[in-house]
A and B are shown apart, each in its own frame.
Chain A
Amino acid sequence: MARFILARLVKAVFILLAILVLNFSLIHAAPGDPASVMAGEAGATDEQFLEDLRRRFGLDQPFHVQLWIYIKGAVQLDLGYSYRRGMPVADLIWDRLPATLLLTATAFVISIVFGVIAGVAAAARQGRWSDSIISALALLFYATPLFWVALMAALLFSVVLGWLPGFGYETVGANYTGFARALDIGRHLVLPATTLGLFFTAIYVRMTRASMLEVSRLDFVKTARAKGLSPGVIQRRHILRNALLPVITLAGLQAGQIVGGAVLTETVFAWPGIGRLMFEAISQRDYNVLLGVFFVSAAMVLLFNLITDIVYVIVDPRIRITE
Protein backbone atom coordinates (compact mmCIF):
# COMPACT_ATOMS: atom_id res chain seq x y z
CA MET A 1 0.00 0.00 0.00
CA ALA A 2 2.73 2.45 0.98
CA ARG A 3 4.68 1.60 -2.17
CA PHE A 4 1.57 2.08 -4.27
CA ILE A 5 0.91 5.51 -2.79
CA LEU A 6 4.55 6.45 -3.27
CA ALA A 7 4.44 5.41 -6.93
CA ARG A 8 1.30 7.48 -7.44
CA LEU A 9 2.90 10.46 -5.74
CA VAL A 10 5.95 10.26 -7.99
CA LYS A 11 3.67 10.18 -11.01
CA ALA A 12 1.72 13.18 -9.70
CA VAL A 13 4.95 15.14 -9.27
CA PHE A 14 5.88 14.42 -12.89
CA ILE A 15 2.49 15.61 -14.08
CA LEU A 16 2.81 18.81 -12.06
CA LEU A 17 6.27 19.41 -13.54
CA ALA A 18 4.86 18.86 -17.02
CA ILE A 19 2.16 21.43 -16.30
CA LEU A 20 4.81 23.95 -15.24
CA VAL A 21 6.62 23.36 -18.54
CA LEU A 22 3.29 23.79 -20.36
CA ASN A 23 2.52 27.00 -18.45
CA PHE A 24 5.93 28.43 -19.22
CA SER A 25 5.66 27.51 -22.89
CA LEU A 26 2.28 29.23 -23.03
CA ILE A 27 3.75 32.42 -21.62
CA HIS A 28 6.29 32.29 -24.46
CA ALA A 29 3.80 31.29 -27.12
CA ALA A 30 1.47 34.16 -26.27
CA PRO A 31 1.58 37.15 -28.58
CA GLY A 32 3.87 39.84 -27.19
CA ASP A 33 6.98 39.80 -25.05
CA PRO A 34 6.93 37.29 -22.13
CA ALA A 35 7.54 40.01 -19.54
CA SER A 36 4.41 41.89 -20.56
CA VAL A 37 2.45 38.62 -20.57
CA MET A 38 3.56 37.93 -17.00
CA ALA A 39 2.77 41.49 -15.98
CA GLY A 40 -0.72 41.22 -17.40
CA GLU A 41 -2.59 44.00 -19.12
CA ALA A 42 -2.46 46.25 -16.06
CA GLY A 43 1.28 46.15 -15.63
CA ALA A 44 2.32 46.16 -19.27
CA THR A 45 2.87 49.91 -19.42
CA ASP A 46 5.28 50.15 -16.48
CA GLU A 47 8.72 49.89 -18.10
CA GLN A 48 10.56 49.62 -14.77
CA PHE A 49 8.37 46.72 -13.67
CA LEU A 50 8.91 44.91 -16.98
CA GLU A 51 12.65 45.38 -16.61
CA ASP A 52 12.50 43.84 -13.11
CA LEU A 53 10.57 40.85 -14.47
CA ARG A 54 13.07 40.36 -17.29
CA ARG A 55 15.94 40.35 -14.84
CA ARG A 56 14.21 38.12 -12.30
CA PHE A 57 13.16 35.47 -14.80
CA GLY A 58 16.36 35.76 -16.83
CA LEU A 59 14.36 36.53 -19.95
CA ASP A 60 17.52 37.45 -21.84
CA GLN A 61 19.00 34.01 -21.18
CA PRO A 62 18.47 30.73 -23.08
CA PHE A 63 15.06 29.06 -22.83
CA HIS A 64 16.13 26.18 -20.57
CA VAL A 65 17.71 28.57 -18.04
CA GLN A 66 14.49 30.58 -17.96
CA LEU A 67 12.46 27.43 -17.53
CA TRP A 68 14.65 26.33 -14.64
CA ILE A 69 14.21 29.68 -12.88
CA TYR A 70 10.44 29.42 -13.38
CA ILE A 71 10.20 25.86 -12.04
CA LYS A 72 12.47 26.63 -9.09
CA GLY A 73 10.15 29.47 -8.15
CA ALA A 74 7.01 27.39 -8.52
CA VAL A 75 8.42 24.56 -6.39
CA GLN A 76 8.88 27.13 -3.62
CA LEU A 77 5.20 28.01 -4.16
CA ASP A 78 6.08 31.24 -5.92
CA LEU A 79 3.40 31.43 -8.62
CA GLY A 80 4.28 34.96 -9.64
CA TYR A 81 2.78 38.31 -8.73
CA SER A 82 -0.61 39.69 -9.66
CA TYR A 83 0.21 43.24 -10.66
CA ARG A 84 -3.49 43.90 -11.01
CA ARG A 85 -4.31 42.98 -7.41
CA GLY A 86 -0.99 43.91 -5.86
CA MET A 87 -0.58 40.50 -4.25
CA PRO A 88 1.43 37.34 -4.86
CA VAL A 89 -0.68 34.82 -6.81
CA ALA A 90 0.03 32.08 -4.25
CA ASP A 91 -1.48 34.22 -1.47
CA LEU A 92 -4.56 35.00 -3.58
CA ILE A 93 -5.10 31.32 -4.31
CA TRP A 94 -4.40 30.26 -0.73
CA ASP A 95 -7.13 32.63 0.50
CA ARG A 96 -9.67 31.26 -1.97
CA LEU A 97 -8.75 27.58 -1.90
CA PRO A 98 -10.80 26.47 1.17
CA ALA A 99 -14.06 27.69 -0.41
CA THR A 100 -13.37 25.75 -3.61
CA LEU A 101 -12.32 22.61 -1.74
CA LEU A 102 -15.53 22.76 0.29
CA LEU A 103 -17.65 23.27 -2.82
CA THR A 104 -16.04 20.63 -5.03
CA ALA A 105 -15.76 18.01 -2.29
CA THR A 106 -19.42 18.49 -1.35
CA ALA A 107 -20.50 18.32 -5.00
CA PHE A 108 -18.37 15.21 -5.49
CA VAL A 109 -19.91 13.43 -2.49
CA ILE A 110 -23.46 14.51 -3.39
CA SER A 111 -23.11 13.29 -6.96
CA ILE A 112 -21.66 9.90 -5.99
CA VAL A 113 -24.18 9.23 -3.20
CA PHE A 114 -27.27 10.29 -5.13
CA GLY A 115 -25.96 8.87 -8.39
CA VAL A 116 -25.31 5.42 -6.95
CA ILE A 117 -28.58 5.30 -4.98
CA ALA A 118 -30.67 6.37 -7.97
CA GLY A 119 -28.74 4.07 -10.30
CA VAL A 120 -29.26 1.06 -8.03
CA ALA A 121 -32.96 1.91 -7.66
CA ALA A 122 -33.38 2.21 -11.42
CA ALA A 123 -31.59 -1.08 -12.10
CA ALA A 124 -33.68 -2.91 -9.48
CA ARG A 125 -36.86 -1.69 -11.19
CA GLN A 126 -35.65 -2.17 -14.75
CA GLY A 127 -38.38 -1.50 -17.29
CA ARG A 128 -40.88 -0.12 -14.80
CA TRP A 129 -42.06 3.49 -14.73
CA SER A 130 -39.79 4.49 -11.85
CA ASP A 131 -36.80 3.26 -13.86
CA SER A 132 -38.02 5.23 -16.87
CA ILE A 133 -38.36 8.41 -14.82
CA ILE A 134 -34.91 8.10 -13.23
CA SER A 135 -33.29 7.30 -16.58
CA ALA A 136 -35.09 10.14 -18.35
CA LEU A 137 -34.05 12.63 -15.66
CA ALA A 138 -30.45 11.42 -15.87
CA LEU A 139 -30.50 11.85 -19.64
CA LEU A 140 -31.96 15.34 -19.26
CA PHE A 141 -29.44 16.57 -16.69
CA TYR A 142 -26.62 15.01 -18.69
CA ALA A 143 -27.54 17.41 -21.51
CA THR A 144 -28.07 20.51 -19.34
CA PRO A 145 -25.39 23.21 -19.35
CA LEU A 146 -23.92 23.55 -15.86
CA PHE A 147 -24.04 27.34 -15.77
CA TRP A 148 -27.62 27.44 -17.01
CA VAL A 149 -28.97 25.02 -14.43
CA ALA A 150 -27.13 27.07 -11.79
CA LEU A 151 -28.80 30.27 -13.02
CA MET A 152 -32.22 28.63 -13.13
CA ALA A 153 -31.79 27.17 -9.63
CA ALA A 154 -30.78 30.59 -8.31
CA LEU A 155 -33.83 32.09 -10.00
CA LEU A 156 -36.27 29.50 -8.66
CA PHE A 157 -35.02 28.77 -5.13
CA SER A 158 -33.55 32.14 -4.29
CA VAL A 159 -35.35 34.85 -6.25
CA VAL A 160 -38.85 33.36 -6.62
CA LEU A 161 -39.25 31.09 -3.59
CA GLY A 162 -36.72 32.74 -1.31
CA TRP A 163 -35.80 29.43 0.34
CA LEU A 164 -32.05 29.59 0.00
CA PRO A 165 -29.43 32.27 -0.50
CA GLY A 166 -28.25 32.39 -4.12
CA PHE A 167 -25.25 34.60 -3.67
CA GLY A 168 -21.98 34.47 -1.77
CA TYR A 169 -20.38 32.30 0.90
CA GLU A 170 -22.02 33.60 4.08
CA THR A 171 -24.36 36.37 5.15
CA VAL A 172 -22.41 39.60 4.99
CA GLY A 173 -22.43 41.58 8.23
CA ALA A 174 -24.18 38.86 10.25
CA ASN A 175 -20.99 38.02 12.16
CA TYR A 176 -22.12 34.52 13.06
CA THR A 177 -19.68 32.37 15.00
CA GLY A 178 -19.30 28.68 15.69
CA PHE A 179 -22.27 26.49 14.81
CA ALA A 180 -24.43 29.37 13.58
CA ARG A 181 -21.71 30.30 11.09
CA ALA A 182 -21.34 26.72 9.87
CA LEU A 183 -25.10 26.54 9.39
CA ASP A 184 -25.07 29.83 7.48
CA ILE A 185 -22.28 28.65 5.19
CA GLY A 186 -24.09 25.35 4.75
CA ARG A 187 -27.24 27.16 3.60
CA HIS A 188 -25.18 29.12 1.09
CA LEU A 189 -23.52 25.89 -0.06
CA VAL A 190 -26.72 24.03 -0.98
CA LEU A 191 -27.43 25.58 -4.38
CA PRO A 192 -23.84 25.76 -5.71
CA ALA A 193 -22.98 22.23 -4.59
CA THR A 194 -26.17 20.59 -5.89
CA THR A 195 -26.08 22.35 -9.25
CA LEU A 196 -22.38 21.54 -9.67
CA GLY A 197 -23.06 17.94 -8.72
CA LEU A 198 -26.16 17.51 -10.89
CA PHE A 199 -24.37 16.80 -14.16
CA PHE A 200 -22.09 14.28 -12.45
CA THR A 201 -25.02 12.72 -10.59
CA ALA A 202 -26.54 12.07 -14.01
CA ILE A 203 -23.34 10.37 -15.18
CA TYR A 204 -23.15 8.15 -12.08
CA VAL A 205 -26.83 7.19 -12.35
CA ARG A 206 -26.35 5.99 -15.92
CA MET A 207 -23.08 4.28 -15.11
CA THR A 208 -24.35 2.54 -11.96
CA ARG A 209 -27.53 1.39 -13.66
CA ALA A 210 -25.67 -0.06 -16.65
CA SER A 211 -23.05 -1.65 -14.41
CA MET A 212 -25.64 -3.21 -12.07
CA LEU A 213 -27.55 -4.72 -14.99
CA GLU A 214 -24.35 -6.08 -16.49
CA VAL A 215 -23.15 -7.71 -13.28
CA SER A 216 -26.61 -9.13 -12.52
CA ARG A 217 -26.33 -11.29 -15.65
CA LEU A 218 -23.08 -12.94 -14.52
CA ASP A 219 -22.87 -16.56 -13.44
CA PHE A 220 -22.04 -16.00 -9.78
CA VAL A 221 -25.28 -14.07 -9.38
CA LYS A 222 -27.21 -16.97 -10.86
CA THR A 223 -25.47 -19.22 -8.35
CA ALA A 224 -26.48 -16.91 -5.52
CA ARG A 225 -30.09 -17.01 -6.72
CA ALA A 226 -29.97 -20.78 -7.02
CA LYS A 227 -28.74 -20.97 -3.43
CA GLY A 228 -31.97 -19.25 -2.46
CA LEU A 229 -30.50 -16.00 -1.15
CA SER A 230 -32.96 -13.16 -0.82
CA PRO A 231 -32.99 -10.64 -3.70
CA GLY A 232 -32.02 -7.84 -1.31
CA VAL A 233 -28.88 -9.65 -0.16
CA ILE A 234 -27.93 -10.46 -3.75
CA GLN A 235 -28.43 -6.82 -4.74
CA ARG A 236 -26.30 -5.45 -1.94
CA ARG A 237 -23.61 -8.03 -1.35
CA HIS A 238 -23.13 -9.61 -4.75
CA ILE A 239 -24.12 -7.17 -7.45
CA LEU A 240 -23.54 -3.74 -5.94
CA ARG A 241 -20.03 -4.45 -4.69
CA ASN A 242 -18.87 -5.53 -8.12
CA ALA A 243 -20.88 -2.95 -10.00
CA LEU A 244 -19.29 -0.14 -8.02
CA LEU A 245 -15.78 -0.72 -9.39
CA PRO A 246 -16.25 0.97 -12.78
CA VAL A 247 -18.13 3.77 -11.03
CA ILE A 248 -15.13 4.47 -8.78
CA THR A 249 -12.80 4.45 -11.79
CA LEU A 250 -15.06 6.94 -13.50
CA ALA A 251 -15.26 9.09 -10.38
CA GLY A 252 -11.48 9.47 -10.43
CA LEU A 253 -11.57 10.50 -14.09
CA GLN A 254 -14.38 12.99 -13.45
CA ALA A 255 -12.55 14.79 -10.65
CA GLY A 256 -10.90 17.10 -13.17
CA GLN A 257 -14.23 18.04 -14.65
CA ILE A 258 -15.74 18.89 -11.26
CA VAL A 259 -12.85 21.20 -10.48
CA GLY A 260 -13.24 22.80 -13.92
CA GLY A 261 -16.99 23.11 -13.48
CA ALA A 262 -16.40 25.04 -10.27
CA VAL A 263 -15.36 28.02 -12.42
CA LEU A 264 -18.90 28.21 -13.82
CA THR A 265 -20.71 27.52 -10.54
CA GLU A 266 -18.62 29.97 -8.55
CA THR A 267 -19.16 32.62 -11.22
CA VAL A 268 -22.94 32.25 -11.07
CA PHE A 269 -23.21 32.11 -7.26
CA ALA A 270 -20.41 34.61 -6.47
CA TRP A 271 -18.75 31.84 -4.46
CA PRO A 272 -15.37 33.21 -3.37
CA GLY A 273 -13.19 30.33 -4.56
CA ILE A 274 -10.38 29.95 -7.07
CA GLY A 275 -12.89 29.42 -9.90
CA ARG A 276 -14.34 32.86 -9.31
CA LEU A 277 -10.78 34.17 -9.12
CA MET A 278 -10.12 32.63 -12.52
CA PHE A 279 -13.24 34.23 -13.99
CA GLU A 280 -12.19 37.65 -12.73
CA ALA A 281 -8.68 37.11 -14.11
CA ILE A 282 -10.07 36.44 -17.60
CA SER A 283 -11.49 39.92 -18.10
CA GLN A 284 -8.45 41.49 -16.41
CA ARG A 285 -6.06 39.48 -18.61
CA ASP A 286 -4.20 38.59 -15.40
CA TYR A 287 -2.20 35.71 -16.85
CA ASN A 288 -0.22 34.87 -13.71
CA VAL A 289 -3.47 34.27 -11.82
CA LEU A 290 -4.90 32.18 -14.69
CA LEU A 291 -1.80 29.99 -14.90
CA GLY A 292 -1.59 29.73 -11.11
CA VAL A 293 -5.22 28.62 -10.76
CA PHE A 294 -4.71 26.13 -13.59
CA PHE A 295 -1.68 24.69 -11.78
CA VAL A 296 -3.41 24.49 -8.39
CA SER A 297 -6.60 22.97 -9.82
CA ALA A 298 -4.47 20.31 -11.51
CA ALA A 299 -2.89 19.59 -8.12
CA MET A 300 -6.41 19.26 -6.66
CA VAL A 301 -7.36 16.80 -9.38
CA LEU A 302 -4.27 14.71 -8.66
CA LEU A 303 -5.22 14.68 -4.98
CA PHE A 304 -8.79 13.52 -5.80
CA ASN A 305 -7.34 10.86 -8.10
CA LEU A 306 -5.05 9.61 -5.36
CA ILE A 307 -7.99 9.33 -2.97
CA THR A 308 -10.09 7.37 -5.47
CA ASP A 309 -7.12 5.10 -6.18
CA ILE A 310 -6.81 4.31 -2.49
CA VAL A 311 -10.57 3.76 -2.16
CA TYR A 312 -10.36 1.41 -5.13
CA VAL A 313 -7.72 -0.73 -3.45
CA ILE A 314 -9.77 -0.87 -0.25
CA VAL A 315 -12.98 -1.81 -2.09
CA ASP A 316 -11.33 -4.40 -4.33
CA PRO A 317 -8.64 -6.36 -2.50
CA ARG A 318 -8.04 -8.45 -5.65
CA ILE A 319 -6.14 -5.54 -7.09
CA ARG A 320 -2.44 -5.95 -6.50
CA ILE A 321 -0.81 -2.84 -7.69
CA THR A 322 1.89 -3.39 -10.24
CA GLU A 323 3.57 -0.15 -11.06
Chain B
Amino acid sequence: MSRSPLALAWRRFAQNRGAVVGLAILLVVVLVAVLGPTLMPQSPWRMVGRPFLPPLTDAALPLGTDAVGRDVLTGLVHGARVSLLVGLVSTLVALLIGVPVGALAGYFGGWVDDALMRFTEFFQTIPSFALAIVLLAIFQPSLFWIILTIAIVSWPPVARLVRGEVLSLRTREYIEAAILSGQTSLQIIIRQVLPNALPPIIVLASLMVATAILLESSLSFLGLGDPNVMSWGYMIGAARTVLRTAWWLSFIPGIAILLTVLALNLIGEGLNDALNPRLQRREE
Protein backbone atom coordinates (compact mmCIF):
# COMPACT_ATOMS: atom_id res chain seq x y z
CA MET B 1 0.00 0.00 0.00
CA SER B 2 1.50 3.28 -1.02
CA ARG B 3 0.53 6.61 0.42
CA SER B 4 1.76 10.04 -0.52
CA PRO B 5 4.04 11.69 2.04
CA LEU B 6 1.43 14.38 2.54
CA ALA B 7 -1.26 11.85 3.42
CA LEU B 8 1.10 10.18 5.89
CA ALA B 9 1.91 13.52 7.47
CA TRP B 10 -1.80 14.31 7.77
CA ARG B 11 -2.42 10.95 9.47
CA ARG B 12 0.29 11.66 12.05
CA PHE B 13 -1.10 15.16 12.56
CA ALA B 14 -4.62 13.82 13.04
CA GLN B 15 -3.42 11.30 15.63
CA ASN B 16 -2.57 14.23 17.89
CA ARG B 17 -5.98 15.05 19.38
CA GLY B 18 -4.85 18.45 20.67
CA ALA B 19 -3.66 19.45 17.22
CA VAL B 20 -7.05 18.67 15.69
CA VAL B 21 -8.81 20.73 18.37
CA GLY B 22 -6.33 23.54 17.70
CA LEU B 23 -7.00 23.36 13.98
CA ALA B 24 -10.76 23.53 14.61
CA ILE B 25 -10.38 26.62 16.83
CA LEU B 26 -8.09 28.30 14.33
CA LEU B 27 -10.50 27.61 11.47
CA VAL B 28 -13.24 29.40 13.40
CA VAL B 29 -10.94 32.38 14.07
CA VAL B 30 -9.92 32.49 10.40
CA LEU B 31 -13.57 32.36 9.29
CA VAL B 32 -14.42 35.22 11.66
CA ALA B 33 -11.43 37.20 10.41
CA VAL B 34 -12.30 36.66 6.73
CA LEU B 35 -16.09 36.93 6.81
CA GLY B 36 -16.71 38.92 10.01
CA PRO B 37 -15.96 42.42 8.77
CA THR B 38 -18.25 41.75 5.78
CA LEU B 39 -21.07 40.55 8.03
CA MET B 40 -20.50 43.39 10.51
CA PRO B 41 -19.47 46.20 8.19
CA GLN B 42 -20.06 49.02 10.67
CA SER B 43 -16.95 50.64 12.13
CA PRO B 44 -15.84 49.13 15.46
CA TRP B 45 -15.16 52.68 16.65
CA ARG B 46 -18.79 53.85 16.29
CA MET B 47 -20.97 54.46 19.33
CA VAL B 48 -23.96 52.15 19.10
CA GLY B 49 -25.48 52.09 22.57
CA ARG B 50 -25.18 53.33 26.08
CA PRO B 51 -21.74 52.82 27.66
CA PHE B 52 -20.98 49.85 29.94
CA LEU B 53 -23.85 47.68 28.73
CA PRO B 54 -23.12 44.24 30.26
CA PRO B 55 -23.03 41.19 27.96
CA LEU B 56 -26.20 39.16 27.35
CA THR B 57 -28.58 41.99 28.16
CA ASP B 58 -29.39 43.28 24.68
CA ALA B 59 -29.92 40.83 21.80
CA ALA B 60 -28.62 43.37 19.29
CA LEU B 61 -25.40 43.84 21.29
CA PRO B 62 -24.76 40.34 22.69
CA LEU B 63 -21.37 41.10 24.23
CA GLY B 64 -22.34 44.54 25.49
CA THR B 65 -20.63 47.88 24.96
CA ASP B 66 -17.42 49.48 26.23
CA ALA B 67 -16.74 52.70 28.14
CA VAL B 68 -17.80 54.90 25.22
CA GLY B 69 -20.64 52.75 23.93
CA ARG B 70 -18.78 50.83 21.19
CA ASP B 71 -20.00 47.33 20.38
CA VAL B 72 -17.65 44.72 21.90
CA LEU B 73 -18.60 41.99 19.43
CA THR B 74 -17.81 44.19 16.42
CA GLY B 75 -14.46 45.07 17.98
CA LEU B 76 -13.72 41.41 18.60
CA VAL B 77 -14.54 40.46 15.01
CA HIS B 78 -12.47 43.25 13.49
CA GLY B 79 -9.65 42.51 15.94
CA ALA B 80 -9.44 38.90 14.74
CA ARG B 81 -8.39 40.08 11.29
CA VAL B 82 -5.68 42.36 12.71
CA SER B 83 -4.27 39.69 15.03
CA LEU B 84 -4.03 37.04 12.32
CA LEU B 85 -2.68 39.48 9.74
CA VAL B 86 0.04 40.80 12.04
CA GLY B 87 0.93 37.29 13.26
CA LEU B 88 1.19 35.87 9.76
CA VAL B 89 2.92 38.72 7.94
CA SER B 90 5.44 39.46 10.70
CA THR B 91 6.38 35.77 10.79
CA LEU B 92 6.88 35.80 7.02
CA VAL B 93 9.12 38.86 7.30
CA ALA B 94 11.05 37.24 10.16
CA LEU B 95 11.59 34.19 7.93
CA LEU B 96 12.80 36.49 5.14
CA ILE B 97 15.46 37.82 7.53
CA GLY B 98 16.29 34.67 9.47
CA VAL B 99 16.44 32.07 6.69
CA PRO B 100 19.09 33.85 4.58
CA VAL B 101 21.17 34.75 7.64
CA GLY B 102 21.11 31.17 8.94
CA ALA B 103 21.64 29.61 5.51
CA LEU B 104 24.62 31.79 4.68
CA ALA B 105 26.19 31.27 8.10
CA GLY B 106 25.76 27.50 7.99
CA TYR B 107 26.76 27.06 4.35
CA PHE B 108 29.87 29.21 4.24
CA GLY B 109 31.10 28.78 7.81
CA GLY B 110 34.33 30.54 8.80
CA TRP B 111 34.26 34.29 9.28
CA VAL B 112 30.87 34.66 7.58
CA ASP B 113 29.40 32.30 10.18
CA ASP B 114 31.22 34.09 12.98
CA ALA B 115 30.04 37.55 11.96
CA LEU B 116 26.44 36.53 11.28
CA MET B 117 26.13 34.56 14.50
CA ARG B 118 27.55 37.41 16.59
CA PHE B 119 24.91 39.61 14.97
CA THR B 120 22.19 37.06 15.73
CA GLU B 121 23.37 36.61 19.29
CA PHE B 122 23.25 40.36 19.83
CA PHE B 123 19.61 40.47 18.82
CA GLN B 124 18.83 37.44 20.94
CA THR B 125 20.46 38.88 24.05
CA ILE B 126 18.93 42.35 24.12
CA PRO B 127 15.49 42.50 25.75
CA SER B 128 13.31 42.21 22.66
CA PHE B 129 10.14 43.63 24.16
CA ALA B 130 11.93 46.78 25.33
CA LEU B 131 13.48 47.14 21.87
CA ALA B 132 10.04 46.78 20.28
CA ILE B 133 8.68 49.53 22.55
CA VAL B 134 11.57 51.85 21.69
CA LEU B 135 11.22 51.22 17.94
CA LEU B 136 7.47 51.82 17.93
CA ALA B 137 7.69 54.90 20.13
CA ILE B 138 10.29 56.50 17.88
CA PHE B 139 8.70 55.53 14.57
CA GLN B 140 4.97 55.84 14.14
CA PRO B 141 2.86 53.00 15.52
CA SER B 142 1.29 51.99 12.21
CA LEU B 143 0.49 48.47 11.02
CA PHE B 144 3.60 48.59 8.81
CA TRP B 145 5.95 49.44 11.67
CA ILE B 146 4.28 47.01 14.08
CA ILE B 147 4.81 44.14 11.64
CA LEU B 148 8.38 45.17 10.91
CA THR B 149 9.18 45.60 14.62
CA ILE B 150 7.82 42.18 15.54
CA ALA B 151 9.83 40.67 12.68
CA ILE B 152 13.00 42.46 13.84
CA VAL B 153 12.73 41.05 17.36
CA SER B 154 11.69 37.52 16.37
CA TRP B 155 14.02 36.39 13.55
CA PRO B 156 17.05 35.14 15.61
CA PRO B 157 15.64 31.68 16.47
CA VAL B 158 14.97 31.14 12.75
CA ALA B 159 18.56 31.98 11.87
CA ARG B 160 19.90 29.60 14.52
CA LEU B 161 17.60 26.78 13.46
CA VAL B 162 18.36 27.16 9.74
CA ARG B 163 22.10 27.37 10.44
CA GLY B 164 21.97 24.11 12.40
CA GLU B 165 19.98 22.36 9.67
CA VAL B 166 22.31 23.60 6.94
CA LEU B 167 25.38 22.54 8.93
CA SER B 168 24.06 19.00 9.22
CA LEU B 169 22.89 18.84 5.60
CA ARG B 170 25.88 20.30 3.82
CA THR B 171 28.13 17.29 4.34
CA ARG B 172 25.58 14.93 2.75
CA GLU B 173 26.55 13.18 -0.45
CA TYR B 174 23.84 14.72 -2.61
CA ILE B 175 25.17 18.17 -1.76
CA GLU B 176 28.66 17.10 -2.74
CA ALA B 177 27.20 15.74 -5.96
CA ALA B 178 25.55 19.09 -6.61
CA ILE B 179 28.86 20.88 -6.01
CA LEU B 180 30.59 18.52 -8.46
CA SER B 181 27.89 19.01 -11.07
CA GLY B 182 28.86 22.67 -11.10
CA GLN B 183 25.89 24.31 -9.38
CA THR B 184 26.62 27.65 -7.78
CA SER B 185 26.45 28.09 -4.02
CA LEU B 186 23.23 30.06 -4.31
CA GLN B 187 21.61 27.34 -6.44
CA ILE B 188 22.67 24.67 -3.99
CA ILE B 189 21.34 26.58 -0.98
CA ILE B 190 18.00 27.32 -2.61
CA ARG B 191 17.41 24.07 -4.54
CA GLN B 192 19.15 21.43 -2.43
CA VAL B 193 19.60 22.56 1.14
CA LEU B 194 16.58 24.68 2.05
CA PRO B 195 13.85 22.30 0.79
CA ASN B 196 15.27 19.62 3.08
CA ALA B 197 15.42 22.02 6.01
CA LEU B 198 11.78 22.99 5.51
CA PRO B 199 9.94 20.74 8.03
CA PRO B 200 11.49 22.18 11.21
CA ILE B 201 11.16 25.69 9.77
CA ILE B 202 7.43 25.15 9.27
CA VAL B 203 7.03 23.94 12.86
CA LEU B 204 8.95 26.91 14.24
CA ALA B 205 6.97 29.31 12.03
CA SER B 206 3.64 28.08 13.37
CA LEU B 207 4.82 28.73 16.93
CA MET B 208 6.17 32.13 15.88
CA VAL B 209 2.75 33.21 14.62
CA ALA B 210 1.45 32.53 18.12
CA THR B 211 4.24 34.52 19.76
CA ALA B 212 3.74 37.38 17.29
CA ILE B 213 0.04 37.58 18.17
CA LEU B 214 0.93 37.75 21.87
CA LEU B 215 3.51 40.44 21.13
CA GLU B 216 1.11 42.51 19.03
CA SER B 217 -1.53 42.37 21.75
CA SER B 218 1.01 43.38 24.41
CA LEU B 219 2.15 46.36 22.34
CA SER B 220 -1.41 47.48 21.62
CA PHE B 221 -2.20 47.07 25.32
CA LEU B 222 0.53 49.60 26.10
CA GLY B 223 -0.96 52.01 23.55
CA LEU B 224 1.53 51.27 20.79
CA GLY B 225 -1.00 49.82 18.36
CA ASP B 226 -2.08 51.37 15.08
CA PRO B 227 -4.54 54.05 16.20
CA ASN B 228 -6.74 53.40 13.16
CA VAL B 229 -7.11 49.68 13.72
CA MET B 230 -9.22 47.94 16.37
CA SER B 231 -7.26 45.16 18.05
CA TRP B 232 -7.77 42.82 20.99
CA GLY B 233 -4.82 44.23 22.91
CA TYR B 234 -6.14 47.77 22.49
CA MET B 235 -9.57 46.71 23.81
CA ILE B 236 -7.98 45.32 26.99
CA GLY B 237 -5.72 48.34 27.39
CA ALA B 238 -8.68 50.71 27.05
CA ALA B 239 -10.69 48.70 29.60
CA ARG B 240 -7.85 48.43 32.11
CA THR B 241 -8.89 51.48 34.12
CA VAL B 242 -12.48 50.26 34.47
CA LEU B 243 -11.53 46.75 35.59
CA ARG B 244 -13.44 47.09 38.86
CA THR B 245 -16.72 48.18 37.32
CA ALA B 246 -16.65 46.41 33.94
CA TRP B 247 -14.36 43.39 34.19
CA TRP B 248 -15.86 41.69 31.15
CA LEU B 249 -14.41 44.36 28.86
CA SER B 250 -10.92 43.06 29.74
CA PHE B 251 -11.98 39.45 30.10
CA ILE B 252 -13.61 38.82 26.70
CA PRO B 253 -10.81 39.99 24.34
CA GLY B 254 -8.29 38.16 26.54
CA ILE B 255 -10.15 34.88 25.99
CA ALA B 256 -10.01 35.54 22.24
CA ILE B 257 -6.22 36.00 22.37
CA LEU B 258 -5.80 32.97 24.64
CA LEU B 259 -7.82 30.66 22.37
CA THR B 260 -6.08 31.79 19.19
CA VAL B 261 -2.59 31.46 20.65
CA LEU B 262 -3.44 28.11 22.26
CA ALA B 263 -4.78 26.82 18.93
CA LEU B 264 -1.59 27.83 17.13
CA ASN B 265 0.62 26.19 19.76
CA LEU B 266 -1.40 22.96 19.55
CA ILE B 267 -1.11 23.02 15.76
CA GLY B 268 2.63 23.57 16.09
CA GLU B 269 2.94 20.43 18.20
CA GLY B 270 0.83 18.50 15.71
CA LEU B 271 2.98 19.71 12.83
CA ASN B 272 6.04 18.59 14.76
CA ASP B 273 4.56 15.09 15.07
CA ALA B 274 3.62 15.11 11.40
CA LEU B 275 6.80 16.52 9.89
CA ASN B 276 9.55 15.33 12.24
CA PRO B 277 8.32 11.82 13.07
CA ARG B 278 11.76 10.53 14.01
CA LEU B 279 12.50 13.29 16.47
CA GLN B 280 11.51 13.27 20.09
CA ARG B 281 9.24 16.14 20.90
CA ARG B 282 11.53 18.85 22.16
CA GLU B 283 11.14 22.36 23.44
CA GLU B 284 12.77 24.99 21.31
Contacts and interface: CB of A to CB of B under 8 A. Distances in A.
Contacts of A206: 283
A13 interface: no
B61 interface: no
Chain B: interface secondary structure? Answer: helix
Contact of A210 (B131, B133, B250, B282): B282
Contacts of B116: none
Given A260-B130, A282-B223, A301-B127, A145 B217 contact: yes
B278 interface: no
Interface string A238-276: 000000001000100100110111011001100000000
Contacts of B32: none
B248 to A, nearest CB: 10
B3 interface: no
B262 interface: yes
Contact of B127 (A145, A152, A207, A256): A256
Given A287-B137, A294-B131, A155 B247 contact: yes
A298 interface: yes
Given A155-B247, A260-B130, A268 B240 contact: yes
A210 B125 contact: no
B103 interface: no
A143 B210 contact: yes
Interface size class of B (residues with CB under 8 A): 35 or more
A159 interface: yes
Contact of B265 (A30, A143, A207, A279): A143
Contact of B258 (A143, A246, A268, A300): A143
A294 B134 contact: yes
Interface of A: 15, 18-19, 23, 26-27, 29-31, 37, 139-140, 142-148, 151-152, 154-155, 159, 203, 206-207, 210-211, 213-214, 246, 250, 253, 256-257, 259-261, 263-264, 267-268, 278-279, 281-283, 285, 287, 290-291, 293-294, 297-298, 300-302, 305
Interface of B: 18, 122, 124-131, 133-135, 137-140, 210, 214, 217-218, 221-224, 233, 236, 240, 243-244, 247, 250-251, 254, 257-258, 261-262, 265-266, 280-283
Given A144-B261, A214-B282, A279-B222, 17 more contacts: A15-B122, A26-B135, A26-B138, A29-B139, A140-B262, A145-B221, A145-B236, A148-B257, A148-B258, A151-B250, A210-B282, A256-B126, A268-B240, A282-B223, A287-B137, A287-B138, A301-B126
5 contacts: A26-B138, A145-B236, A152-B254, A155-B243, A260-B127
When A and B form their complex, which 7 residue pairs have the shortest distance between CB atoms, in order from nearest? A260-B129, A148-B254, A143-B262, A143-B261, A256-B127, A260-B127, A30-B138
